[in-house]
């Protein structure tokens, strides 16, 4: 790039992240570079844009050329944009073979403002928060301390004690909570939750069977169908044989003594007695076989019914959101869930409640007659089997932050050393206000 004192602002205006890679390397030939005030203004503006690999070439004459840059972190200063000479061209050669000194490998114990909100077990306050006598602990706190040791920086936590205190980015571009602190550059980054968790829907258990339904529970529906088909077929055959004018087959198969064979079948099925027995051998054999079949069936049914009555078996609980919609359930959720997971199908039958009411509504799910469910992060009671949303933790930075690249490299190194086992990737939210580093579970 070639600029002079008069077109600094114009050049900077054209430096957008859509057209230029802010993490790239830039060499600027600054005409009249001996104007220190303009050079300081140039570097200060680049620092605000997070463009840090910038060198400026200034020349007083053909024999004396200077290469200047700014070092953000040094032993004497932090977030500095003061011009520093890194190399000089004299006697037809450069003094040293170094043109772009590394600026992010050592942050020289400078302080990074780290925003975060309570989010167990990622960030927790141990001690007395109200009297400002507490220590932050948790997965994310440990991890940011590991990164701080590698990059040599200190941390100052900006801690929001309320659940959901990380805030959100509104559609109009405004922000709240920790996101607002990033937008105002009051925080250098915001840590979130690194471990992978599932948001669950706490549901009531299945309803108990009523007295009539319990009678049909010992056997599966297929068994009942087989029994029913057998008995109906037997009744049809007996009826057809009885109605025939020729009584020979009735006398052989049923016996001429039986006047009500259909009622005898029904009585035998339910364990009743037959008052009149056939005299023919064939009819007696068939009757004994049928009686033995009914005896085995009743014994199996009685034992299965006794075992069922001794258990606390219930109707199956709901297994999906669609099933809850079909059964007129209401899903209760807290405000932060709605803020962070817009578009979830839960809102079709959802109703917002205050955060303080979540526990009370969760206790209601212990009543099987309660036609409702509660959104929560974890639960020791029954939860819906259908996955609702995976909350992958994010570390957020101001857009185009120069910390992104070095954090990515450092976390990759930690992962290779088995401190982590998941791949890091970058993601840009729809508002295009922040860039986000997302991690999987430890």
Specify the DSSP class assigned to residue 175.
B
At residue 295, what are phi and psi to the nearest 5 degrees?
A: -65, -45
Residue with tokens 């996101």: 179
74-88, 346-360, 386-400 — which is least confidently predicted?
A: 386-400
Residue 419's pLDDT is 46
Specify the DSSP class assigned to residue 345.
G
Q: How many CB atoms lie within 10 A of CB 73?
A: 19
pLDDT band at 4 (very low <50, low <70, confident <90, very high): low
pLDDT band at 428 (very low <50, low <70, confident <90, very high): very low
Q: How far apart are CA 145 and CA 82, in angstroms?
A: 29
At residue 332, what are phi and psi to the nearest 5 degrees?
A: -95, 130
As a whole number, mean pLDDT of residues 338-351 equals 72
As a whole number, mean pLDDT of residues 51-61 equals 81
* pLDDT value at 208 more than 80: no
Closest CA to 312 of 217, 385, 378, 386: 217
pTM: 0.51
* pLDDT value at 113 more than 90: yes
For 310-334, the pLDDT digits (tens) are 877 777 788 888 888 888 888 888 7
Tokens of 194: 């690194």
pLDDT band at 34 (very low <50, low <70, confident <90, very high): low
207-216, 274-283, 335-344, 397-406 — which is least confidently predicted?
A: 335-344
Tokens of 41: 């203004």
As a whole number, mean pLDDT of residues 49-78 equals 84
Name the β-bridge partners of 153. Answer: 110
At residue 102, what are phi and psi to the nearest 5 degrees?
A: -65, 130
pLDDT, mean over the chain: 77
As a whole number, mean pLDDT of residues 266-282 equals 81
Residues 6+ apart with CB under 8 A from 339: 164, 168
Residues 6+ apart with CB under 8 A from 163: 117, 118, 119, 336, 355
Q: How far apart are CA 90 and CA 68, in angstroms?
A: 15
Task: Tell me if 426 sits within 8 A of 401, measured CB to CB.
Answer: no
Q: How far apart are CA 382 and CA 202, in angstroms?
A: 6
Of the two residues 223 and 311, the one the predictor is more confident about is 223
Q: How far apart are CA 8 and CA 222, in angstroms?
A: 84
Residue 429's pLDDT is 35
Task: Tell me if 305 sits within 8 A of 219, measured CB to CB.
Answer: no
Domain boundaries of the chain, sorted by first residue: 2-94, 110-194+392-438, 200-208+316-390, 211-310
Closest CA to 184 of 78, 79, 113: 113
Q: How many CB atoms lie within 10 A of CB 270?
A: 8
pLDDT band at 423 (very low <50, low <70, confident <90, very high): very low
For 367-384, the pLDDT digits (tens) are 888 888 888 765 555 566
Residue 1's pLDDT is 56
Residue 343's pLDDT is 63
Over the range 97-131, which residues count as b (16 or more CB within 10 Å of their CB) and which as e?
eeebeebbeebeebebbbbbbbbeebbbeeeeeee
Most confident of 190-194, 269-273, 389-393, 395-399: 395-399
Residue 149's pLDDT is 92
Tokens of 432: 């295009």
As a whole number, mean pLDDT of residues 105-116 equals 91
67: left (phi over 0), alpha (psi -120 to 50) or beta: beta
Residues 6+ apart with CB under 8 A from 234: 265, 290
As a whole number, mean pLDDT of residues 169-195 equals 79
pLDDT band at 430 (very low <50, low <70, confident <90, very high): very low
Closest CA to 282 of 316, 236, 251: 251
Percent of the chain with pLDDT over 70: 81
Radius of gyration of the chain (CA): 39
Superfamily of domain 110-194+392-438: Periplasmic binding protein-like II (3.40.190.10)
Over the range 45-58, which residues count as b (16 or more CB within 10 Å of their CB) and which as e?
bbbebbbbbbbbbb
Residue 439's pLDDT is 38
As a whole number, mean pLDDT of residues 75-84 equals 88
């Amino acid at each position: 790039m070639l600029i002079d004192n008069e077109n600094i602002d114009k050049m900077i205006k054209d430096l957008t992240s859509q057209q230029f890679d802010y993490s790239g390397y830039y060499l600027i030939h600054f005409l009249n570079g001996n104007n220190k005030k303009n050079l300081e203004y140039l570097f200060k503006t680049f620092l605000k844009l997070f463009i840090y690999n910038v060198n400026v070439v200034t020349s007083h004459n053909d024999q004396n050329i200077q290469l200047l840059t700014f070092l953000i972190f040094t032993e004497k200063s932090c977030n500095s944009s003061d011009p520093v000479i890194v190399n000089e061209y004299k006697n037809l050669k450069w003094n040293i073979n170094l043109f772009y000194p590394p600026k992010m490998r050592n942050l020289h114990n400078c302080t990074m403002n780290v925003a975060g909100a309570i989010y167990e077990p990622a960030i927790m306050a141990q001690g007395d928060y109200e009297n400002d006598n507490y220590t932050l602990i948790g997965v994310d706190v440990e991890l940011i301390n590991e990164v701080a040791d590698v990059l040599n920086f200190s941390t100052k936590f900006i801690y929001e004690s309320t659940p959901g205190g990380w805030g959100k980015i509104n559609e109009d571009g405004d922000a709240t909570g920790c996101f607002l602190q990033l937008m105002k550059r009051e925080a250098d980054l915001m840590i979130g939750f690194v471990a992978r968790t599932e948001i669950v829907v706490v549901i009531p258990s299945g309803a108990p069977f009523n007295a009539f339904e319990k009678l049909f529970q010992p056997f599966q529906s297929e068994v009942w169908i087989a029994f029913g088909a057998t008995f109906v077929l037997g009744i049809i055959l007996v009826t057809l044989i009885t109605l025939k004018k020729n009584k020979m087959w009735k006398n052989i198969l049923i016996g001429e003594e039986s006047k009500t064979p259909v009622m005898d079948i029904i009585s035998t099925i339910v364990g009743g007695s037959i008052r009149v027995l056939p005299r023919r051998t064939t009819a007696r054999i068939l009757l004994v076989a049928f009686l033995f079949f009914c005896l085995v069936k009743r014994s199996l049914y009685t034992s299965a019914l006794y075992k069922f009555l001794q258990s606390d078996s219930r109707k199956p609980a709901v297994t999906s959101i669609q099933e809850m919609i079909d059964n007129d359930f209401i899903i209760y959720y807290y405000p932060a869930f709605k803020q962070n997971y817009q578009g979830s199908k839960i809102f079709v039958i959802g109703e917002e409640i205050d955060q303080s009411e979540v526990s009370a509504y969760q206790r209601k799910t212990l009543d099987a007659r309660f036609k409702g469910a509660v959104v929560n992060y974890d639960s020791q009671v029954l939860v819906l089997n259908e996955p609702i949303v995976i909350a992958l933790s994010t570390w957020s930075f101001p857009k185009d932050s120069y910390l992104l690249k070095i954090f990515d490299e450092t976390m990759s190194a930690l992962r290779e050393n088995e401190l982590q086992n998941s791949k890091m990737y970058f993601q840009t939210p729809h508002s295009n206000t922040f860039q986000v580093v997302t991690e999987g579970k430890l």
